[in-house]
Chains A and B, each alone.
Chain A
Amino acid sequence: MKKLLKNKEGLIEIGFRLNGTEIKTSVKPNETLLELIRRLGYKGTKKGCDTGDCGSCTIIIDGIAKVSCLLPAFYAEGKEIITIEGLGDVSNPHPIQKAYADSGAVQCGFCIPGMIMTTKFLLDRKPKPSDSDIKHALDGNLCRCTGYVKQIEAVKIAASKINKK
Chain B
Amino acid sequence: MSENNFKVVNKRLEKIDSLSLACGKPMFCDDIDIKNMLYGKIMFSPYPHAIIKNIDVSKALKVKGVKAVVTYKDVPRIPHTTAGQGYPEPSPYDTYMLDKKVRYVGDRVCAVAAETLEACEEAISKIEIDWEVLEAVFDPFKAMEGKIIIHDEDDSKNIPDAKHNIAAKVPDLVMLKNSEPFSEAEYVVENTYEIPYLQHCAIEPHTTITYLDDYDRLIIRSSTQVPFHVRRIVAQTLNIPLKKIRVIKPRIGGGFGSKQEILLEDICSFLTLKTKRPVKIEYTRKDVFVSSRTRHPAVTKLKTGVKKDGTITDMELDVTLNTGAYGSHALTVLMCSGSHTLPMYKVKNNLKFSGRSVYTNLPVAGAYRGYGATQAFFALESQMDIMAEKIGMDPVEFRKRNYIKLGESSPVFKAMGEGREGVDQSITSIGLMEAIDRGLKEIKWYEKKERYYRLNQKSEVKYGLGMACMMQGSGIAEIDMASATIKMNEDGSFNLLIGATDLGTGSDTILAQIAAETLGVELNDIIVYSSDTDITPFDVGAYASSTTFVSGGAVKKAAGYVRDMIIEDASKILKEPKENLKVESKYVVSKTGKKVSFKEIANTAFYYHDQHQIIASASHYGRTSPPPFAAHFAELSVNTRTGVVDIINYVACVDCGTAINPTLAEGQNDGAVVNGIGHTLSESFEISQNGTVLNANFRRYKILSTKDISEIKSIIIPTYEPEGPYGAKSVSEIGINGPLPAIANAIYDAVKIRLFKAPFTPDKVLKALKESK
Smallest beta-carbon distance B12→chain A, Å = 8
Q: Is the CB of B666 within 8 A of A104?
A: yes
Smallest beta-carbon distance B10→chain A, Å = 15
Interface residues of A in 83-102 (CB under 8 A from B): 83-85, 87-90, 93, 97-98, 100-102
How long is the Cα–Cα vector from A138 to B705 in the complex, in angstroms? Answer: 8
Q: Which residues of A contact B33 (CB under 8 A)?
A: 41
Q: Which residues of B contact A116 (CB under 8 A)?
A: 22
| Contact A149 to B251, CB < 8 A, known contacts A44-B26, A110-B504 | no
Closest to B15 in A: A106
Smallest beta-carbon distance B203→chain A, Å = 4
| Contact A144 to B28, CB < 8 A, known contacts A93-B19, A97-B22 | no
With a 10 A CB-CB cut-off, give which of B14, B18, B23, B201 has the most chain A CB atoms: B23
Which one, A43, A47, A145, contacts B504 given CB within 8 A?
Answer: A145
Q: Is the CB of A148 within 8 A of B706?
A: yes
With a 10 A CB-CB cut-off, give which of B17, B25, B256 has the most chain A CB atoms: B25
Check if A109 is an interface residue, CB within 8 A of chain B: yes
Q: Which residues of B contact A141 (CB under 8 A)?
A: 705-706
Q: Which residues of A contact B15 (CB under 8 A)?
A: 101, 104, 106-107
Q: Is the CB of A145 within 8 A of B254?
A: yes
How long is the Cα–Cα vector from A45 to B31 in the complex, in angstroms? Answer: 10
Annotate B654-665 by CB proximity to A: 1 below 8 A, 0 otherwise.
Answer: 000000000110
Q: Which residues of A contact B674 (CB under 8 A)?
A: 146-149
Q: Which residues of A contact B699 (CB under 8 A)?
A: 51, 53
Q: Which residues of A contact B714 (CB under 8 A)?
A: 149
How long is the Cα–Cα vector from A111 to B28 in the complex, in angstroms? Answer: 12
How long is the Cα–Cα vector from A138 to B706 in the complex, in angstroms? Answer: 6
Check if A108 is an interface residue, CB within 8 A of chain B: yes
Smallest beta-carbon distance A148→chain B, Å = 5
Interface residues of B in 257-315 (CB under 8 A from A): 284-285
| Contact A139 to B706, CB < 8 A, known contacts A107-B505, A109-B251 | yes
How long is the Cα–Cα vector from A53 to B671 in the complex, in angstroms? Answer: 19
Q: Which residues of B contact A97 (CB under 8 A)?
A: 19, 22-23
Smallest beta-carbon distance B759→chain A, Å = 16
Q: Which residues of A contact B254 (CB under 8 A)?
A: 107-108, 110, 144-145
How long is the Cα–Cα vector from A41 to B503 in the complex, in angstroms? Answer: 24
Q: Is the CB of A109 within 8 A of B21?
A: yes
Q: Which residues of A contact B527 (CB under 8 A)?
A: none
Q: Is the CB of A51 within 8 A of B698?
A: yes
Q: Is the CB of A90 within 8 A of B707?
A: no
Check if A68 is an interface residue, CB within 8 A of chain B: no
Check if A165 is an interface residue, CB within 8 A of chain B: no
Q: Is the CB of A104 within 8 A of B667?
A: yes
Check if A140 is an interface residue, CB within 8 A of chain B: yes
Interface residues of A in 69-90 (CB under 8 A from B): 83-85, 87-90
Which one, A135, A143, A147, contacts B673 given CB within 8 A?
Answer: A147
Q: Which residues of A contact B200 (CB under 8 A)?
A: 144
Interface residues of A in 6-36 (CB under 8 A from B): none
| Contact A113 to B253, CB < 8 A, known contacts A107-B667, A141-B705 | no
Q: Which residues of A contact B251 (CB under 8 A)?
A: 108-109
Annotate B675-716 by CB proximity to A: 1 below 8 A, 0 otherwise.
Answer: 100000000000000000000011100010111010010100
Q: Is the CB of B503 within 8 A of A108?
A: yes
Q: Is the CB of A44 within 8 A of B252?
A: no
Q: Which residues of B contact A49 (CB under 8 A)?
A: 285, 697-698
Q: How large is the interface on A (under 10, 10 to 19, 20 to 34, 35 or more residues)?
A: 35 or more
Check if A156 is an interface residue, CB within 8 A of chain B: no
How long is the Cα–Cα vector from A141 to B257 in the complex, in angstroms? Answer: 22
Q: Is the CB of B703 within 8 A of A144?
A: yes
Q: Which residues of B contact A56 (CB under 8 A)?
A: 203
Check if A159 is an interface residue, CB within 8 A of chain B: no
Check if A128 is an interface residue, CB within 8 A of chain B: no
Q: Is the CB of B22 within 8 A of A110?
A: no
Q: Is the CB of B706 within 8 A of A110?
A: no
Check if B427 is an interface residue, CB within 8 A of chain A: no
Q: Is the CB of B505 within 8 A of A144?
A: no
Q: Is the CB of B503 within 8 A of A84?
A: no
Smallest beta-carbon distance B216→chain A, Å = 28
Smallest beta-carbon distance B300→chain A, Å = 25
Check if B40 is an interface residue, CB within 8 A of chain A: no
Annotate A123-136 by CB proximity to B: 1 below 8 A, 0 otherwise.
Answer: 00000000000111
Check if B506 is an interface residue, CB within 8 A of chain A: yes
Q: Is the CB of A139 within 8 A of B705?
A: yes
Q: Which residues of A contact B14 (CB under 8 A)?
A: 101-102
Closest to B664 in A: A104
Q: Is the CB of B707 within 8 A of A136?
A: yes
Q: Which residues of A contact B17 (CB under 8 A)?
A: 106, 109
With a 10 A CB-CB cut-off, give which of B201, B251, B503 has the most chain A CB atoms: B201
Q: Which residues of B contact A109 (CB under 8 A)?
A: 17-18, 21-22, 27, 251, 253, 504
Smallest beta-carbon distance A27→chain B, Å = 14
Smallest beta-carbon distance A107→chain B, Å = 5
Smallest beta-carbon distance A106→chain B, Å = 4
Q: Is the CB of B666 within 8 A of A101?
A: no
Q: Is the CB of A152 within 8 A of B706?
A: yes
Q: Is the CB of A90 within 8 A of B667?
A: no
Q: Is the CB of A83 within 8 A of B24?
A: yes
Q: Is the CB of B703 within 8 A of A90?
A: no
Q: Is the CB of B28 within 8 A of A147?
A: no
Q: List the 3 closest pairs (A to B, CB-CB), nearest first.
A: A44-B24, A108-B504, A110-B253
B residues bordering A, Cβ < 8 Å? 12, 14-15, 17-28, 30-31, 33, 200-205, 251-254, 256, 284-285, 503-506, 663-664, 666-667, 670-675, 697-699, 703, 705-707, 709, 712, 714
A-B contacts besides A51-B285, A149-B670, 11 pairs, CB < 8 Å: A46-B204, A50-B285, A54-B285, A85-B24, A87-B23, A90-B20, A101-B18, A104-B667, A110-B28, A141-B705, A144-B201
